[in-house]
Amino acid sequence: MIADLILLLLLAVPSVSAASAKRLLERMERIESRMETAHPSDRKSASKKLNAFRSKFQDKGLIGARALALYIVETRRPLRVRLHAAAFLGTIGEPETYGALAHVAKNQEDDPGLRSTAILALASLRIPTASRRDVFEGLISADHPEMVRREALGQLANVGARSIASVLAAAKSYGSNPKRLEFIAASHAAIALGKSNRAAAGPALYTLLRYQKRGSPLKAKIITALSARGTKNDLSRRDLETLTALLFQPDQSLAAQVARFLGRTKDRRATGPLAQVFRTATSTALLAEAADALASIGSEKGGQALLAMRAKIPSDPRFAENPDAGSHALRIERAAAVFDRKTPLPREKLSGPVTVLPFRYEGWPGEGRPVLAWTGDGNALALKTEPRRNAQETHPLKVKTGQSVSFDASLVVMRSPGLARATQKTILQGRRLGKLEHLTKRDYFTAKPKEKISFQQGALIEVLAYRAEGFCFVRIPADGRVFESKCPENTGFFETLEEPRTDWWFKASGPQGVSGWFLSDAPGLEFRSREF
């Protein structure tokens, strides 16, 4: 197989261009050979010198990619140069190099670091998600080196799992180990299950949740993954019991996360346990989450418990001991007011399932204008009259296989906000965009003041949508102000309770006045690259 691959690459690369790319690789090898006898301080600069060749291969495009692909499969070549060559292929993103990268990633006799680099490069290729997923899922079993397994799970967290049993097995094995790297790997496995479109992924997450020992930090990641899957399917009795038991564990931060998730399910069977939280919880934040959940479920029994809780707030010692208790009490009052219409709603805008303010922004996540192409079987791309899932369909756009699909506008629409909680007292700095529901491209690029936002431990922030380079649009629940800041999860001072759910829409136009909107994940649509 490998001989056929090398022959194919040799035939595909024009001789003159191949010679030019080969000379670049020879120069890299000379740099590497000099480092073998160099002083240790000089060896540190070798990687920088080798990495400088990245742009040279990028400039050669497909020809450079073919030469690199041919190089990485030759095991007799210097390892450090092969490592850089594999990384360069990820930067170039040429689909034709899939075979070489997949071969290196799967080669049990090759260096684990090189195999991990090949996995990372595969994630950047402009190929169908299913193709790279197949490779990743084949590398998570225990017969592969730990470095390779962890990298494969990390990439599966981006694309979602299809082999539910193997991902669940990996999550169990890593989740039982308290070490940091193993915890990260288990978290990636849980996220991969959360992003899976397989029906079996939901039950697998509940199995994983029950498998965890008391106090396991992975439980919070599993609840986040369950939230990402939505609440379309009814909970089994056992799954519901698994969730409600967590409401009464010592970790009340986890209990608050579970309460919020139960509110989203709107499952009336959760009413009793949520009402019991009012008697057992010591955290006012948990009390507020339980109140929001009961308001979302809307049962009469839950309403009675809420009204009773509201009446006790002035004399409840739990609210006297917490500096943030005022905002939590206000949330309980607001939730209770859903059942007592004679009481006006508090004026402050608060987060939670009772009221969710919309948000959308013109543009796209990530840097660089997306380049789209049609790879579907048919010759028509379905369009909608508006950027809404339930909008009416209009005349489709005529397309041909392999044809670029241009667009006039791009819009990211939040379906439901994410939520993050401060793990300690901290400050988040961001551009203040104001209280808004629609951020135009013009407003985004208008200079905005930077502002520091203070958070007490346990305070919440809504994550509306991802932007680019680790930045997000976030909203302060108490007053509705929107900021562009580092994603809370990237600061090290917030824990993610829920991921934001968004739709990415494009507007296209065609002959005879054809015009309409289509989703970025429309069947038959492929992302080819980004233009800068």
pLDDT the model gives residue 230: 74
Superfamily of chain region 360-413+504-531: SH3 Domains (2.30.30.40)
Mean pLDDT along residues 455-462:
85
CATH fold of 231-337, please? Leucine-rich Repeat Variant (1.25.10)
Mean pLDDT, to the nearest integer, of 134-163? 94
- The residue-averaged pLDDT of 509-517 equals 87
- 492 pLDDT tier (thresholds 50, 70, 90): confident
Q: How far apart are CA 242 and CA 205, in angstroms?
A: 11
Domain range summary for the chain, segments of one domain joined by +: 2-190, 231-337, 360-413+504-531, 418-499
> What pLDDT score does 34 carry?
82
Closest CA relative to residue 332, chosen from 299, 349, 307: 307
- Cα-to-chain-centroid distance, residue 364: 15
The angle subtended at Cα 427 by Cα 423 and Cα 431, nearest 5°, is 125
Cα diameter, the chain: 85
3-class SS at 496?
strand
What's the confidence (pLDDT) of residue 231?
66
Determine the pLDDT at residue 327: 80
Give residue 348's pLDDT.
Answer: 40
> Residues 179-234: pLDDT tens digits?
888 999 999 999 999 989 899 999 999 999 999 988 888 999 999 899 888 765 57
Note the pLDDT tens digit of each residue in 14-30: 554 667 888 999 999 99
Question: What are 127's two structure tokens?
Answer: 């190929």
336 has a pLDDT exceeding 70: yes
pLDDT confidence of residue 60: 86
pLDDT the model gives residue 21: 84
Confidence of residue 69 (pLDDT cuts 50, 70, 90): very high
Residue 123 confidence (pLDDT) above 70: yes
Residue 296 has which token pair?
């979302």
Q: How far apart are CA 413 and CA 419, in angstroms?
A: 16
Amino acid 347: pLDDT: 43
Question: CA-CA distance, 136 to 153, in Å (whole number)?
Answer: 7
- Residue 170 phi, psi (nearest 5): -65, -40
- Coil, strand or helix at 341: coil
Same fold, 2-190 and 231-337: yes
Query: Taking CA 227 as the corner, what is the angle to CA 225 and CA 230, rounded to the nearest 5 degrees?
Result: 115
Question: What is the pLDDT of the chain when averaged over all its residues?
Answer: 86
Specify the pLDDT at position 352. Answer: 41
Residue among 495, 527, 29, 526 nearest 256 (CA): 495
Q: Provide the percentage of residues in the chain whose pLDDT is more than 90.
A: 48
CA distance 67 to 86: 11
pLDDT band, residue 387 (cuts 50/70/90): very high
Q: Which candidate, 523, 519, 522, places its Cα nearest to that of 502?
A: 519
Q: 355 falls in which pLDDT band (50, 70, 90)? A: very low
Distance CA 113, CA 101 (A): 13
- Note the pLDDT tens digit of each residue in 253-300: 899 999 999 998 889 999 999 999 999 999 898 999 999 999 989 899
For residue 48 the two structure tokens come to 């920088």
pLDDT in the model for residue 5: 54
What pLDDT does residue 330 have? 85
Q: How confident is the model at residue 345 (pLDDT cuts 50, 70, 90)?
A: very low
Topology (CATH level 3) of domain 2-190 = Leucine-rich Repeat Variant (1.25.10)
Q: What is the predicted pLDDT for the residue at 14? A: 53
pLDDT higher than threshold 90 for residue 483? yes
Q: Can you read off the two tokens belonging to residue 274? A: 């949520």
The fold for domain 418-499 equals SH3 type barrels. (2.30.30)
